[in-house]
Amino acid sequence: MRTILELSQCFSCPRNTFSQVNTFAPRDRTVQTYFKNALAALTDSFVRASPRVIRSAICGLLCFFVSMAISPSRLLAETTGPTKGTLVIVGGGDKDHLVFDHFVKLAGGVNARLVVIPTASSTSPDYDYANHYAAVYAREGLKMPHVTVVHTHDRTEADEESLSKPIREADAVWFSGGRQWRIADAYLDTLVERELHAVLERGGVIGGSSAGASIQGSFLVRGDTKGSNILIGDHQRGLGYITNSAIDQHVIPRNRQGGLIEVLTDPDSKMDSGIDRESLLGIGIDEATGIVVRGNEFEVVGKEDGVVLLYNPKTWTPETADNEKYLTLRNGAKYNLKDRVVLDRGKPPRTTTARRPEGYYKDIFMDGGVRLSSKKRLLAAESLGLSYEHYADKD
């Protein structure tokens, strides 16, 4: 009994029971809410009939097991999307607004109440956040009458009602590109973050491009303040709209196909110990390409020759080659996040729509390049969704 009493004193139950759970399990609001409700019910049950010692001991034990034994990552080993609402996650470079226009349509059209959050774009006080290009395009290009910019780098302001009020009234929220750690620094565990979750809960739409894509995963890829080339950095927590996920962007034009392999293998052991790395699903998104997530399923949208790469370490063995560690999905493809099952592989682009810069094929076939024997072979390989690394070695 003495051991139990000492344990209960460590947790100061029942008054601080909820704050203890919040301290140890901040990463997933679903888990946090579940245990808060469960502990509230248990505490209430013992308030009237049980001695204070027993109440405190039971609360202490529950907090102990929540914090030490069953972390959110273990409880939610499955990858899941939001139970309500819609996500639009874009790999950057959407210069023709293909995916952004689709995002606005999903939000209800040009009369939707849109909030743009440009916080990732800069840390400079001289940056014109109010006229970020996403907000300008929505106002002037799409003629949307209800566009509001919400921005701060000050966490105190992020907890103020005045800043979060437009989000509370929004149909949709858009995160800009830039550096994803700036979003994490400003908004995680603030009133703004709670209001963002509420947007989804009422059936709204949250979207973002580049940094605004990565922040929607649970693990924050390229979240280091020193540079985006650091894959596992000093900021590792995203907003977690897709649980157990790591999202990378610009993967094709910037040759980032191997980035998520490094994240999911973590060869230098840089990932926080509380993250269940082996349960993460890697999602790499091409430019001008996005995924629309409803529940546990997503569909690939955007440019016709865009791709989404999926990295499932649960299927890897020590013998799995890097070019076999990801699956390529095309425009129109559908995927179940929870079951990790392809529902539709999508359609390969017509060769006439595969837009390549001048000199592209010359670079491929000259000076070593990818050493393919013909353009025909290259296009055939692309239509099968094979990576350059894969079919170069086969040729």
What is 86-347's CATH number, 3.20.20.140, 3.40.50.880, 3.60.10.10, 3.40.50.2020? 3.40.50.880
Residue 250: per-residue pLDDT: 98
Burial of 216: CB neighbours in 10 Å, binned 0-12, 13-18, 19+: buried
- pLDDT tens column, 149-193: 999 999 999 999 999 999 999 999 999 999 999 999 999 999 999
Least confident piece of the model among 27-31, 88-92, 225-229, 328-332: 27-31
Q: What is the pTM of this model?
A: 0.74
Residue 107: per-residue pLDDT: 98
Domain ranges for the chain: 2-75, 86-347, 356-394
**pLDDT(21) > 70:** no
Question: What is the spatial distance between Cα 152 and Cα 350, in angstroms, rounded to a whole number?
Answer: 44
- pLDDT tens column, 369-387: 444 444 444 444 444 554 4
Percent of the chain at pLDDT exceeding 90: 67
Using alpha carbons, select from 313, 321, 317 the residue that is nearest to residue 340: 313
Q: Judge whether 164 and 192 are in contact, CB under 8 Å.
A: yes
HSE, side-chain direction, 13 A CA sphere, residue 2: 0
Compute how many other C-beta atoms are within 10 angstroms of the C-beta atom of residue 319. Answer: 6
